[in-house]
Amino acid sequence: MIDLLNTDEKPKDECGLFGIYGHNMDVATMTYYGLYALQHRGQESTGITVSDGKEFKNHKDMGLVGEVFNEKILAPLKGHLAIGHVRYSTVDSGLAVNTQPLDFRYLKGLISLAHNGSLINANEIRQRLALNGSVFQTTSDTEVIVKLIARYGQSSIEEALMKMMIDIKGAYSLLVMTEDQLIGVRDPHGVRPLCIGKKGKSYILASETCALDTVGAEFIRDVDPGEIVIIDNDGLRSIHAMKSSEQAFCIFEFVYLARPDSNFDGRNVTLVRRAMGRQLAQEYPIDADIVIPVPDSGVPAALGYAEASGIPYMEGLMKNRYIGRTFIKPTQKMRETAVRLKLNPIRDIIEGKRVVMVDDSVVRGTTSKQIVQMIRNAGAKEVHLMVSSPTVKYPCYYGIDTQERNQLIAVKQSIEEIREYIGADGLHFLSLEGMVEATGSSKDSFCAACFTGEYPLGISKRVGEYPMEQEVE
Amino acid sequence: MIDLLNTDEKPKDECGLFGIYGHNMDVATMTYYGLYALQHRGQESTGITVSDGKEFKNHKDMGLVGEVFNEKILAPLKGHLAIGHVRYSTVDSGLAVNTQPLDFRYLKGLISLAHNGSLINANEIRQRLALNGSVFQTTSDTEVIVKLIARYGQSSIEEALMKMMIDIKGAYSLLVMTEDQLIGVRDPHGVRPLCIGKKGKSYILASETCALDTVGAEFIRDVDPGEIVIIDNDGLRSIHAMKSSEQAFCIFEFVYLARPDSNFDGRNVTLVRRAMGRQLAQEYPIDADIVIPVPDSGVPAALGYAEASGIPYMEGLMKNRYIGRTFIKPTQKMRETAVRLKLNPIRDIIEGKRVVMVDDSVVRGTTSKQIVQMIRNAGAKEVHLMVSSPTVKYPCYYGIDTQERNQLIAVKQSIEEIREYIGADGLHFLSLEGMVEATGSSKDSFCAACFTGEYPLGISKRVGEYPMEQEVE
Amino acid sequence: MIDLLNTDEKPKDECGLFGIYGHNMDVATMTYYGLYALQHRGQESTGITVSDGKEFKNHKDMGLVGEVFNEKILAPLKGHLAIGHVRYSTVDSGLAVNTQPLDFRYLKGLISLAHNGSLINANEIRQRLALNGSVFQTTSDTEVIVKLIARYGQSSIEEALMKMMIDIKGAYSLLVMTEDQLIGVRDPHGVRPLCIGKKGKSYILASETCALDTVGAEFIRDVDPGEIVIIDNDGLRSIHAMKSSEQAFCIFEFVYLARPDSNFDGRNVTLVRRAMGRQLAQEYPIDADIVIPVPDSGVPAALGYAEASGIPYMEGLMKNRYIGRTFIKPTQKMRETAVRLKLNPIRDIIEGKRVVMVDDSVVRGTTSKQIVQMIRNAGAKEVHLMVSSPTVKYPCYYGIDTQERNQLIAVKQSIEEIREYIGADGLHFLSLEGMVEATGSSKDSFCAACFTGEYPLGISKRVGEYPMEQEVE
Amino acid sequence: MIDLLNTDEKPKDECGLFGIYGHNMDVATMTYYGLYALQHRGQESTGITVSDGKEFKNHKDMGLVGEVFNEKILAPLKGHLAIGHVRYSTVDSGLAVNTQPLDFRYLKGLISLAHNGSLINANEIRQRLALNGSVFQTTSDTEVIVKLIARYGQSSIEEALMKMMIDIKGAYSLLVMTEDQLIGVRDPHGVRPLCIGKKGKSYILASETCALDTVGAEFIRDVDPGEIVIIDNDGLRSIHAMKSSEQAFCIFEFVYLARPDSNFDGRNVTLVRRAMGRQLAQEYPIDADIVIPVPDSGVPAALGYAEASGIPYMEGLMKNRYIGRTFIKPTQKMRETAVRLKLNPIRDIIEGKRVVMVDDSVVRGTTSKQIVQMIRNAGAKEVHLMVSSPTVKYPCYYGIDTQERNQLIAVKQSIEEIREYIGADGLHFLSLEGMVEATGSSKDSFCAACFTGEYPLGISKRVGEYPMEQEVE
């Protein structure tokens, strides 16, 4: 599905992490390239902290990786280990103070953190710390985590991390850097991804394998749920701190969030999406003339649908590649213009055809309605919207910014009512089983709470004393 | 094919034009949207001039449409007619003075010009004008054209344009605006495109039909070769000034330059490209496992090849959507990183496969070499590069920035030598006839000089007194 | 007097010129320093063009010298001669296209121009040129001048300049640069200043001697009215082209415009201003306790008044040195705050005192009113405003931006009425004779039209066909 | 004395504070104006935090007040109380994270701090806090102070502040803001200034009275040494927490740091400086022709010297008002050019004269040497440099950035040796007694440690565990 007119329907990608312990390389530039590959996980701010064994150097700002960094800015970031972060953030919190990594000095020296995920008991911990005299500058979970680590600062860093993991509940993949250690931590359920790569003698930790490919590193393995991975001059060692018996990897990474060329648990994302499309064709076979995707995210599933159904695949919607983040919103009168600026139907492909249009997910339904209308105006005889995931009915508490529950169209309306609303001749959502089947794993290895309402880690409670909104990281 | 590491192989898109004579609408914002749709035709600078019947207001700068304009800048550009321009320009000429439209005051009042194309006798005219006391601020053809018009300024604007057309030789689509007229001019051979649209009572002139779609206008017709179209408060009238008996529409617009959702002469670009792919499959049938495109421009031909050959179509190369115009170039050592930053092969798709890879054109061959290598490294058993156009052997003098002739790989090397250079198992170029066939028109309606060396309008000579480099507009 | 709240009362400084023909030096950086010294003559835009004997290189933009130029921008401006310009311009014309120097190519090669002054027959010439086919991009006199030179382009540059000088009427100091010549031209009446300096073998032309001091050059002499000075590799030669019998040097340069450390015709500006203050004390002796200046421009005259009267000089008004060009305007309610932001009275100095306050000129009177009020609020027993020039009653047509005539307070009101309006106990203006006396020259060597209405060069007429507003340069 | 070529000799102004508890006013804009008036106390960064009783809003950045803030940025800063800060900082620490005010959430809610001064036991406290689990993001004293307050967070804010004052040693004027309280704190010795103003029912706290004048507020009184002033909706109340028996107001505020129109302890700064000049004339009467100031800071003392000696006062050095913070440094060859860019002697005033030149202080002596040379080159017969303060021999530990001790010229050289070094015919420094006498107060009410080496508060020790450089605030 597309993000149309800034009234984005899509769940927001959360954050991306990249860390490297390098040997004879420019770690800041490597991190820059790694973050470039992870840009889809967060476009609002980015930062890099580098350590030379003694001191940290840091640069972070609002903006894309390519805007925030240049040669001149990277040049002084000398060192042999680095961590970097890309972040999506809400407008209100769009302040430099909230960008990551966060650097601190504590009892044992310097420490830098970058975080992907969301805690459910951050406010309880915050209150506990405040009673003990802590102050907070941000509303971020990351600051809570670092202050917990500092409280356990009399221990070694490994022990401090293990104690901290006992305190915090929720979804997190963390990169921690000290003067001379690069550490990766993944929550006991393994909700958010984190993987290990190697390039020569240098180790890399990254949210997705596409970042390893980009820097020419070899994929070693995923970090295990509950694992702490410590990389220093002696290489890599691991502590399996507190693995949960239940796995809960976010299935939405497969559906939409991750980059198509990444692999999770050995499965390639684009192939899983294509399998979802094939599954969709089996569940909802239809007599039609062409299959078209909603670009770009609907392409793999549309190819899968076409493959399984034998209906020809055509690119019937042209996406403008130059739509930037700033953009003059049209008046109501020019509403259609604005949609067409992003997405233009090709009449010569669509006219007179029975069209199957494939999208990866539908959240609020307003964009789908606009696109269906455009396809009709371009002369389609029929328009059937096929969605390669189930209906989204529940908010995410584990690091993804979905809409408020009352904006999720499937909460209040039946599929038939949604079909009428968007004006399609047919509307079908892939079954939960079909979606899981396409991943090749079993249902109990995933968190699919946004579809099912079953939250494997529980949900967060807001505590009275700290009424700050929690942010997605 | 992709533009890799700023060592762009692709012929550069030249310029894009958009003009509107509006009734009850915000013409500046309409032009902004139109230029957004034409952004692929020029990313270096852009400008808009608006007339309110008495005065011109203008804003132009280096940068993308979305960077140069915002609400605050557009707000004061009040009027009922406007012309806009997007432009590719070489680095050296990247000066505000060279951005278009160019506004002047002459004997009859105000005049603004925007130009797409290239003259072959600009320097001769320049010298002629200088002898008569003219001064020049730019090296652009546009300034030459406007000064010619001014020399004939005692005549009506139509007559001045007709006289000017007798003087100038070359390829040009022009938008001319006076205080209360919007005028379109296309050269007698019709090399560069220009079309007419209508939205309510308002008329629009644009380089491509995708711009008409974007602003919700209806396509009326292409401007004829040699035609002058004058739009004012009374509507549209036309003068067929000096049509050539030979048509010479640039076939490279179909091959690569134009946006897939545009139509020329009633033919949709993406369908023509798909037909080129089918044609390629007929000319070079091959036993392979998968067909993959070089994204984005190779996609339609790859789909056509897959369709005609029956070999499955897979998206085996992931393109990073966040690569901006500024970008830290990697050291030689990190060369592969840089390529993978833009384009990453998906091993799970490619490994163990005999791969047909489809690209739209090959100019220097260095990028092809890198991609073929990447595909091999990802485990392909065989890689066959199929190119949906013939070998490019001759520079363009009509408005496209091709490489210097000695950089065109096909000039010095045979196809077999190129195949060896890029390291492919097979390399095939679509035949001239096959390419033309796919357009559905006859060969003599096109300029295909970059493939054939037959220049229908002749080539430019540089004149001693004015040794300024000519620029593409 | 101060410029308060952007409702500047002061006649605007016009333009500043600096040119150098260098031997073994970095001419661009020298010009940068020279323009820095002339910044008071124009703060809106600046530019430098450099010639290396073959080509011009140019950089210009809106902003102060220190903002527009830096090492990186100056580095590529290699050459051995250069001209530079600082400019005041009205808001509407604040476009890069109007910044100077203006560079052109004409029949004989390259030419660059920078101009200080204003023509009175520019529109007539503009119309004459347009009839002959000329087009204009700007409303500036400079473009008219360069097009006239081009019309005479078959002649040598000296002859072309001499012919041009016959055509144009008005005030002008010009720098003209060809590939290998630096030329200075001053109008026959010598209205605007231009002087010659030498540093080693290198020659310099500049608007004021302070620029010579700054670059360490020796003052040689002023350029004579009507003189053309040509500097090339052979040194300096001069043509006295068309000297008028009447001199008309702008007396306002002495009153306010020029920098205190500059000399004109051998007279130091700050000493002349001090003499004006002494003269004022002789014309209007008063019984008072302290003399205070309106900083900064009123300081020399206040010192002169104190010296002649024997009344102690105190700095009773503190000027904020950090007020930049951008500035949040206060609401009406905070009006006084805004004034005090720029200028704060020191109560301990003023309270209980009879105050003589000296300013150099009064144009609209609104600022004077505010300052007098502030002085009273700070506890002054009496406030007498002494102005070291006569009442300004007539607009300038020769290169200074005075207010519209109906905004000049002295046009409609008597001195007594003005005194009442500004709320002073006394108000006195230096007599015309006293002002001239202080310069040490005779009245007929000056243009004092703004005070007398006697325009030695006539005034400009606006021509119907070219109703563009003329700008000050 | 002037700051020349960024090799500034002057002790750096430290920080400026402005806070307001407003009734029916735009407190953000008021703070903006107040900070504009205090800009001389810090030009590197600035920030404002506003409270609406529930939430804080903050904006801060590197740059001048006029650069960092504009209407658009101030508009959302709604509330009824605010604090603001201007800051000088060293280049290395030029990071947004170090700008003030610093905002935190602690047990009792929100708290914001702005600080002027320097602690001498910050590192000891830092270490103490770290042992207890604290982390630090900055090297600033302000963060130490806020963490101490939080440690005492179970107490009321007044009690927490009183406990904190027992812990910290050093010079500090503090503004503290909670959701609904504006609090001012001044250290027990009263080293740095802080005053109280009132505008209608609104209270203001500011570093200098010039800020009160600027916003149209009435001066109430200085905050007492050791006093805590709490302003809320009920008005102002005061706690005299821990006044020292010894006063130690920084005498350098009178000599150079403060703005001439400010008053401390009822004494006007410019009048004190003038008295210093008179004192200087009494201590060192000389037979000379003119007295000239080194602008701008030498002006009041020069006027005093002239008044007492009867020697005429002339402005013989012209200061360029347009030298910005960025500036192209000249090559060694053009060294003199660079000096003259900032300061140009007026030959017609100086030539043939015996010159007394008055400056406020001499630190390293290099600038004095350059200026004396310039005056000689302009033809002076004799040059006597008179300095209106004693020799600076000791570094400041209380909030001013003086040079390293080995750069203070008076440490190693006698006055006679300095005279020779700078090339003056005479060199005289005001006596300590003379300087104090001019203030009208007694010696024991001041800190004059930079002149005497007697540090009334002791000096700071660096602690091993926290080898971070302390910054001036």
pLDDT tens digits, one per residue of A394-424? 999 898 876 677 788 999 999 999 999 999 9
Q: How far apart are CA D318 and CA D299, in angstroms?
A: 12
- Band of the pLDDT at D14, cuts 50, 70, 90? confident
Of residues B95 and C203, which shows the higher confidence score? C203
pLDDT tens by residue, A369-385:
999 999 999 999 999 99
Q: For residue B276, is pLDDT > 90? A: yes
Lowest-confidence range among B185-194, B338-347, D163-172? B338-347
Give the SS3 label for residue A260. coil
State the catalytic residue, choosing from B1, B2, B4, B15. Answer: B15
- Band of the pLDDT at C405, cuts 50, 70, 90? confident
- Residue from the list A134, A137, A468 with its beta carbon closest to the beta carbon of D103: A137
Of residues C92 and C199, which shows the higher confidence score? C199
Q: For residue D318, is pLDDT > 70? A: yes
| Contact flag B130-C146 (C-beta cutoff 8 Å) | no
Question: From the CA of C7, how many Å to the nearest CA of chain D?
Answer: 18
Q: For residue B462, is pLDDT > 50? A: no
Q: For residue A332, is pLDDT > 70? A: no
Mean pLDDT of D175-180: 98
| Chain B partners within 8 Å of C76 (Cβ) | none
Query: Is D359 flagged in the annotation as binding?
Result: yes
| Chain B partners within 8 Å of A26 (Cβ) | 331
Please give the pLDDT value at position D10: 63
Query: Cβ neighbours of residue B209 under 8 Å, at least 6 residues apart?
Result: B195, B197, B219, B261, B262, B263, B264
Please give the pLDDT value at position C332: 66
Please give the pLDDT value at position D377: 94
Pick the CATH number of C269-440 from 3.40.50.300, 3.65.10.10, 3.50.30.30, 3.40.50.2020: 3.40.50.2020
Q: For residue D469, is pLDDT > 70? A: no
A15 is catalytic: yes
| Contact flag B71-A344 (C-beta cutoff 8 Å) | no
Question: From the CA of A162, how many Å to the nearest CA of chain D?
Answer: 16
Indicate the average pLDDT of chain A.
90
- % of chain B residues with pLDDT over 70: 89
ipTM of the complex: 0.91
| CATH architecture of the domain formed by A268-440 | 3-Layer(aba) Sandwich (3.40)
In the DSSP assignment, the letter for residue C445 is: G
- Residue from the list B40, B216, B327 with its beta carbon closest to the beta carbon of A337: B216
In the DSSP assignment, the letter for residue B248 is: -
- % of chain D residues with pLDDT over 90: 76
Contact C153, C107 (CB under 8 A): yes
Q: How far apart are CA D199 and CA D333, in angstroms?
A: 55
Q: How far apart are CA D47 and CA D64, in angstroms?
A: 10
Radius of gyration of the CA atoms of chain B, in A: 23
- Band of the pLDDT at C400, cuts 50, 70, 90? confident
| Chain D partners within 8 Å of C216 (Cβ) | 334, 336-337, 340
Please give the pLDDT value at position C403: 63
Please give the pLDDT value at position D7: 36
Contact A343, A293 (CB under 8 A): no
Nearest CA in chain A to B343: A214
Nearest CA in chain D to C313: D303
- Band of the pLDDT at C139, cuts 50, 70, 90? confident
Q: Are strands B81-87 and B45-51 parallel, antiparallel or unpaired?
A: antiparallel
In the DSSP assignment, the letter for residue C399 is: S
Mean pLDDT of A86-114: 78
| Contact flag A153-D147 (C-beta cutoff 8 Å) | no
Mutate which of C135, C140, C152 to test chain B, going by most B C-beta atoms within 10 A?
Answer: C135
Lowest-confidence range among A135-144, D271-280, D428-437? A135-144
State the pTM of this model: 0.87
State the catalytic residue, choosing from A1, A4, A5, A15. Answer: A15
| Contact flag A64-B259 (C-beta cutoff 8 Å) | no
CATH number, domain D268-439:
3.40.50.2020
Question: From the CA of D266, how many Å to the nearest CA of chain C?
Answer: 10
What is the CATH topology of the domain spanning C15-248? Answer: Glutamine Phosphoribosylpyrophosphate, subunit 1, domain 1 (3.60.20)
- Residue from the list A314, A334, A341 with its beta carbon closest to the beta carbon of B37: A341
Q: How far apart are CA C113 and CA C122, in angstroms?
A: 16
Indicate the average pLDDT of chain B.
90
Mean pLDDT of A61-80: 93
Please give the pLDDT value at position B407: 81
Q: For residue A92, is pLDDT > 50? A: no
Q: How far apart are CA A37 and CA B338, in angstroms?
A: 11
Query: Is D250 flagged in the annotation as binding?
Result: yes
Mean pLDDT of C401-428: 90
Nearest CA in chain B to C147: B135
Look at phi and psi of residue D165 and say left if phi exceeds 0, alpha if psi is from -120 to 50, else beta.
Answer: alpha
Of residues D404 and B434, which shows the higher confidence score? B434
pLDDT tens by residue, A421-463:
999 999 999 999 999 999 999 999 999 999 999 999 998 764 3
Contact D85, D47 (CB under 8 A): yes
Backbone angles phi, psi at D257, to 5 degrees: -70, -45
| Chain D partners within 8 Å of A97 (Cβ) | 96-97
Chains C and B touch, using 3 or more CB pairs below 8 Å: yes
Give the start-to-end residue ranges of the domains of chain D. 15-248, 268-439
Q: How far apart are CA A208 and CA A13, in angstroms?
A: 13
Which tokens in the block code for residue C280? 């004022």
Q: Which residue has the tokens 């507020």?
A: D217
Mean pLDDT of B137-163: 91
- Residue from the list C104, C132, C152 with its beta carbon closest to the beta carbon of B137: C104
Lowest-confidence range among B137-141, D37-41, D202-206? B137-141
Q: For residue C333, is pLDDT > 90? A: no
| Chain D partners within 8 Å of A136 (Cβ) | 104-106
Q: For residue C223, is pLDDT > 70? A: yes
Angle at D229 between CA D227 and CA D230, to 5 degrees: 150
Q: For residue D333, is pLDDT > 80? A: no
